[in-house]
Amino acid sequence: MDANTKRYYWAVGLSLLAAIGYALNSSLAAVSYSHGASPLSVLTTRTIVGALGLYLVLKIKKIPLKLSVRDMAAAAGLGVFFTLSAFSILSAFQFIPVALAVLIFYLFPLLTAIGAWAFFRQPLRPLFVAMLIVALVGLALALNTGADGLDIKGVLWAAAGAVVVACFMLLNGKLVQGKDARPYALAILSSAAVMFVIASLIVGEFPLPETGTGLAAFFGVAAAHASAFTVMFIALSMVGPVRVSLFLNFEPVATIILGVLLLGQVLAPLQLAGAGIVIAAVIIAGRQKIAEAATD
């Protein structure tokens, strides 16, 4: 097995680990909400713990942390996108089931490819356009909740998160490609932590879970997200944003499973069929992008 093949498989493994970590983060966040926490308190703690944990790991491993002024400014700017996307998706969990919110959010690989076409002149093939239409049809089925209806606020929050994270993936891929991603991850997390602390001070409250279970979930969010964020950045530097976006599509599957196990949130058969259609469409579109990249 040559070096490029090994690099590819390492990136696949890291991306799948990141997907599981993000799914666990989402489910634990919903648990902490049910015990008294708020999206802002969860995000502030999650981001501070993640930044401190990553800093300690990099110092222990003696990884150089110094970035140029230009790269530091770019990473701080990406922190804004990170902050907005994180707040959007975690806010969605307050209004709609976690699995549905993550499914909407995971339209971002398609949005990432559209952005690459619009801003970086990467072509859009007929198959990709067809898969985009199929994904939207599948999403319509997944969002069919029957007589109880669906809270539109949750849908809008999740959709906003998808748009913002697509921008984040495109810009971040350009920034860290071919470089050690970890110092950039630390700069982005630190920037986001500062913004969340400022927001918490402005709001003037910091609700914590009121039970032991809630507190365990509250801090579990931080551990799961910090791990997922770090390994995702490493994978990005190895194979780029389009490929990583493809592999991260395992997150909705993991989220549906964890939603049943941890939250008791069960999707109806028609919704599960819609979710399967969305995930399949995104994977097919992503594989096409990979094939195109291989022939360039």
Provide the sign of the torsion angle of the four alpha carbons 163, 220, 175, 73, taken in this order: positive
Q: Given a cut of 80, is residue 139 above it in pLDDT?
A: yes
| Three-class secondary structure of residue 33 per DSSP | helix
- Averaged over 15-22, what is the pLDDT? 89
Q: Given a cut of 80, is residue 291 above it in pLDDT?
A: no
- Exposure pattern of 223-254 as b/e (b: 16+ CB <10 Å)? bbbbbbbbbbbbbbbbbbbbbbbbbbbbbbbb
Please tell me the distance from the alpha carbon of residue 34 to that of residue 13, in angstroms, as a whole number.
32
- Helix 98-105 vs helix 250-258: crossing angle, to nearest 10: 170
pTM for this entry: 0.77
First to last CA, the chain: 23
Provide the sign of the torsion angle of the four alpha carbons 112, 118, 119, 125, taken in this order: positive
Please indicate whether residue 2 or residue 66 has the higher confidence score (pLDDT): 66
Q: Pick the closest to residue 107 from 142, 152, 146 (CA basis).
A: 142
For residue 72, what are the contacts with CB-CB under 8 A and spacing of at least 6? 187
pLDDT at 149: 65
Query: In the Cβ-directed half-sphere of 281, how many Cα atoms lie within 13 Å?
Result: 25
Give the Cβ contact number of residue 137 at 10 Å: 14
For residue 35, what are the contacts with CB-CB under 8 A and spacing of at least 6? 209, 210, 211, 213, 214, 215, 217, 218
- Averaged over 83-103, what is the pLDDT? 90
pLDDT at 5: 76
pLDDT at 289: 65
The residue type of 39 is: P
Please indicate whether residue 78 or residue 53 has the higher confidence score (pLDDT): 78
Q: Given a cut of 70, is residue 137 above it in pLDDT?
A: yes
Band of pLDDT at residue 48, cut at 50, 70 and 90: very high
Q: Given a cut of 60, is residue 147 above it in pLDDT?
A: no
pLDDT at 190: 92
pLDDT at 267: 79
Structure tokens at 62: 């003696």
Please tell me the distance from the alpha carbon of residue 13 to that of residue 29, in angstroms, as a whole number.
24
Chain mean pLDDT for the chain: 84
Please indicate whether residue 268 or residue 149 has the higher confidence score (pLDDT): 268
Q: Given a cut of 90, is residue 67 above it in pLDDT?
A: no
Please indicate whether residue 267 or residue 289 has the higher confidence score (pLDDT): 267
Q: Given a cut of 80, is residue 152 above it in pLDDT?
A: yes
For residue 223, what are the contacts with CB-CB under 8 A and spacing of at least 6? 49
Band of pLDDT at residue 92, cut at 50, 70 and 90: very high
Domain ranges of the chain: 9-99+151-263
Contact 292, 123 (CB under 8 A): yes
The string of pLDDT tens digits covering residues 175-227 is: 777 777 778 888 998 999 999 999 999 999 899 999 999 999 999 998 898 88
Judged on CB neighbours under 10 Å (0-12, 13-18, 19+), 92 is: buried
pLDDT at 24: 93
Provide the sign of the torsion angle of the four alpha carbons 173, 176, 182, 187, taken in this order: negative
Please indicate whether residue 3 or residue 197 has the higher confidence score (pLDDT): 197
| Three-class secondary structure of residue 63 per DSSP | coil
Tokens 């942390």 sit on residue: 65
Most confident range, picked from 97-106, 152-161, 240-249, 284-293: 152-161
Please indicate whether residue 207 or residue 173 has the higher confidence score (pLDDT): 207
Longest CA–CA separation in the chain, Å = 57
Q: Pick the closest to residue 76 from 157, 172, 165 (CA basis).
A: 172
- Averaged over 91-110, what is the pLDDT? 86
